[in-house]
Every structure is written in structure tokens, then in C-alpha cells.
Amino acid sequence: MGKTAVVTGGSRGIGKAISLKLASEGYDIALNYASNDEAAKAAQEEITAKGVRCEIYKADTSDIAQVKAMFKDIKKNFETIDVLINNAGVVDDAYLLMIRQESLDRSLDINIKGYINCAQAASLKMCSQKSGKIINVSSVSSVLAVPGQCVYSATKGAVNSLTQTMAKELAPYGIQVNAVAPGFIGTDMIKSIPGDLAEKYLDAVPMKRFGTAEDVADCVASLLTGAFAYMTGQVIVLDGGLSL
């Protein structure tokens, strides 16, 4: 295919499933992660087994110097950047009265600044190509109030807003920007929810199951096809009906 997708947080969970799905469709993958070398190498092996190229890049997306260095390397290694999946994110739930500054800063830095840093670096290249697609991974928490998630939901609300503005700014350059807002998805992130609370959450999902990382990957891959060539600035909620 000769197309390249950059996937942030591609070593585990939703990012890994998206990387594998896009690899199975023929995309070469530039896979970013933060710290877990073992998981990144394992993901790289699984991806290359699909017959495409996969390079891994350790960089904290909230750190602009690391992001610039990473994209410099990506541009050296791959001819084009056709897709950016802004996915690397963290959740650190706490009720308003218990929020720690350190946790607040980390969430704002990774979940908002990180998305802007990577979109800026990728769209520089996409603008010169006059084509590209950016998918921002948001969350149902951006449209559904969950006690304990005011920081997380604020960051994901920001992702929805920046999706719209980026879409408007970048449309003249042939770049589409959309977001997917998953509900509860069975990744390491969701495994941190205590058992009784997880059951309560499951009960609230009309489709009576948590989503899978593959559900999200399938949705993201569909958005990259010609079927959605005229859509930009939209947030697709993929939550089994949770937010209804």
C-alpha cells in the first residue's frame, strides 16, 4: 500500500488493536509508546508478522522536544505520514475534593497537550502532502458525567473541541480530522476499576457488554476509508448505548 500510520500509545490496549488492524489493511506503522519497551517490542513483532513495516518510537507525547525528535525520525524512516491516530492517554480518577495537582497536570499534559503536539508535528508533513487523516481517541466521558472523572472528562471534552477546530483549520489542506469516543473498553485501563464498580458500569450499558479494543479498531479503520471521505470534525460515540 505504501501508506504510513503513526499511532501514539500503540503498544497496548486500543492503540495496539488499531495498529494491528491498520497493519492488516497494509499500512506501515510508526508505533509510539512511553515506557514499556517489552510491550512495544511484542507489538512490533505482531505487526511485522502481518507483512508490513513497523518502527517503534519511545517518546512522551506531552514533551514537545521528544515529539519533535520522534517525528524527525519518522520522516526519515517513512516517505509519507498518511494517518495519525492520537491515542496515548491516561486516566487517574479522583473526586473533585481529592484531586492532586501532580495528577491533574499529568492528565492535562498527556491527554490534551500530547494530542496537540502530535497533531502539529504530523500535520506539518500532511500539509506539504496536501492529504492526511487524523483520528483523535476521545471518550464517552466527554459527553457523559461520571463522578470521579471531572479531570478525565474535561480532557476528553477538550479532545472533542480541538477535533472540530483542527478539522476547520486543516480542511483546506486536504486533511480530515475526526474523533472516536469509546465507552467502557476491556483494556488495562478498565481493569483498574474495582470489581463491584465494574459490574455497576456493565449494568449501565444497554448492549450488556464492555466493548473490545478490536471494536474501536474496526471503527477507526472504517473512518479512514472512502466511505467517510466527506466527513470532518465529527465525534463518533462508540459505547454500546451507554450515553443514551
CA-wise closest residue to 174 among 236, 74, 68, 82? 82
Residue of 88, 166, 217, 236 interacting with ligand NAP (CB under 6 A): 88
Smaller CB separation from ligand NAP, 78 or 184? 184
C-alpha cell at 3: 501508506
Does 150 interact with ligand NAP (rule: CB under 6 A)? Answer: no
CA distance linking residue 43 with residue 11, whole number of Å: 6
Does 187 interact with ligand NAP (rule: CB under 6 A)? Answer: yes
Residue of 188, 194, 203, 230 interacting with ligand NAP (CB under 6 A): 188
**Interior angle at CA 113, CA 115 and CA 21, nearest 5:** 20
39 Cβ neighbours under 8 A, 6+ residues apart: 11, 12, 16, 33
Smaller CB separation from ligand NAP, 114 or 132? 114
- The active-site residue out of 33, 95, 152, 230 is 152
- Please report how many Cα atoms fall inside a 13 Å half-sphere around the Cα of residue 205, on the Cβ side: 19
Does 34 interact with ligand NAP (rule: CB under 6 A)? Answer: yes
Q: Examine the residue annotation and report whether 173 is marked as an active-site residue of this protein.
A: no
CB 175 within 8 A of CB 123: yes
Span from 72-80, 88-96, 122-130, 165-173 in contact with ligand NAP (CB under 6 A): 88-96
Does 33 interact with ligand NAP (rule: CB under 6 A)? Answer: yes
Tell me the catalytic residues. 152
